[in-house]
């Protein structure tokens, strides 16, 4: 958490160290979403999901902005895509819609002034997100909410929640169409504060106990290998040392409202 706090504090320091100038931007974006975690340890990009959102940006000056966005994306992964033999035998899969509210600070590398010859800039951003999710899987042509079946043998009251927070970092590019409208291209990565984005984190439970307490469907969802003796109690199912992440790549159209002039002391 210290590195997250430092990065956010640096943005705040920059925002107050440059003379203030004001201007709002409103718009939306469309793109794609990806997931990395226990069911995608190889950084595969073969199962993109549709993503999009609405965003409001407040320009403090030509270099520093803050933004709030409401975003949606679908994430998914399957072990069958892996080149790792254990993961293919494990044969787990999931998908989930993610609903995300994000607040970030942005830093423009160049002075960015709408309607002038300073009409483009690369930028970086950092902040926090709160998101809702609900991992699901298909089994025998039926769809199940995995959280309801405690597939790793969680006790009552110990199942993971479906609302969590994430730390966000990203890069992007802004460029004007004219003095009022601009395009934004961005890549934002959210490192979430849970390892259950995909319903996979620790070890296999005792499947007999899981069958007695949650029913045979729970055991079938926990172990989808189809291999006798594969899912023995205590055998690794996931890796709890690293939390999951999801990522949005998109292009946005923004409408500028205001009069943003170049501050005299912002050249650095």
Q: What is the pLDDT of residues 8-58, one digit of tens each?
A: 555 444 444 444 457 899 999 999 999 999 999 999 999 999 999 999 999
- Model confidence over 133-188: pLDDT tens digits? 999 999 999 999 999 999 999 886 678 999 999 999 999 999 999 989 999 999 99
User: Among all chains, which residue has been given the structure tokens 């549709």?
Assistant: 50
- Model confidence over 86-135: pLDDT tens digits? 999 999 999 999 999 999 999 999 999 988 899 999 999 999 999 999 99
Provide the pLDDT for residue 161.
92
Rg, the chain, Cα only = 22
Provide the pLDDT for residue 259.
62
Provide the pLDDT for residue 53.
98
- Model confidence over 54-100: pLDDT tens digits? 999 999 999 999 999 999 999 999 999 999 999 999 999 999 999 99
Provide the pLDDT for residue 7.
52
Distance of alpha carbon 22 from its chain centroid, rounded? 29
Architecture of domain 2-133+160-196+244-258: Beta Barrel (2.40)
Q: For residues 24 and 22, what is the distance between their CA atoms, to the nearest angstrom?
A: 7
Provide the pLDDT for residue 155.
80
The residues, ordered by sequence, that sit 6+ positions from 181 with a Cβ below 8 Å of its Cβ are: 253, 254, 255, 256
Provide the pLDDT for residue 159.
84
- The answer on pLDDT for 220 being more than 70 is yes
Average pLDDT over all residues of the chain: 90
Q: Which two tokens stand for residue 141?
A: 């042509």
Provide the pLDDT for residue 18.
47
Residue boundaries of the structural domains of the chain:
2-133+160-196+244-258
């Amino acid at each position: 958490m210290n590195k997250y706090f430092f990065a956010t504090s640096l943005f705040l320091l920059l925002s107050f160290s440059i003379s203030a100038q004001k201007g709002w931007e409103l718009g939306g974006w469309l793109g794609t979403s990806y997931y990395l975690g226990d069911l995608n340890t190889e950084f595969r990009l073969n199962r993109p999901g549709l993503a999009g959102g609405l965003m409001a940006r407040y320009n403090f000056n030509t270099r520093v902005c803050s933004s709030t966005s409401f975003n949606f994306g679908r994430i998914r992964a399957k072990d069958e895509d892996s080149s790792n033999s254990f993961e293919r035998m494990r044969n787990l899969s999931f998908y989930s819609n993610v609903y995300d509210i994000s607040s970030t600070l942005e830093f423009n590398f160049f002075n960015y002034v709408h309607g002038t010859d300073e009409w483009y800039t690369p930028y970086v951003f950092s902040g926090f997100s709160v998101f809702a999710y609900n991992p699901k899987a298909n089994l025998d042509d039926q769809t199940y909410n995995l959280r309801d079946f405690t597939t790793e043998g969680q006790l009552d009251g110990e199942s993971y929640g479906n609302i969590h927070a994430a730390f966000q970092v990203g890069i992007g590019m802004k460029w004007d169409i004219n003095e009022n409208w601009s395009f934004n291209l961005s890549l934002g990565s959210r490192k979430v504060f849970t390892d259950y984005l995909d319903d996979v984190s620790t070890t296999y439970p005792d499947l007999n106990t899981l069958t007695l307490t949650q029913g045979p469907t729970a055991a079938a969802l926990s172990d989808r290998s189809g291999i006798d003796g594969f899912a023995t109690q205590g055998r690794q199912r996931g890796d709890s040392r690293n939390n999951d992440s999801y990522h949005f790549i998109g292009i946005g159209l923004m409408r500028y409202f205001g009069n943003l002039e170049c501050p005299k002391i912002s050249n650095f």
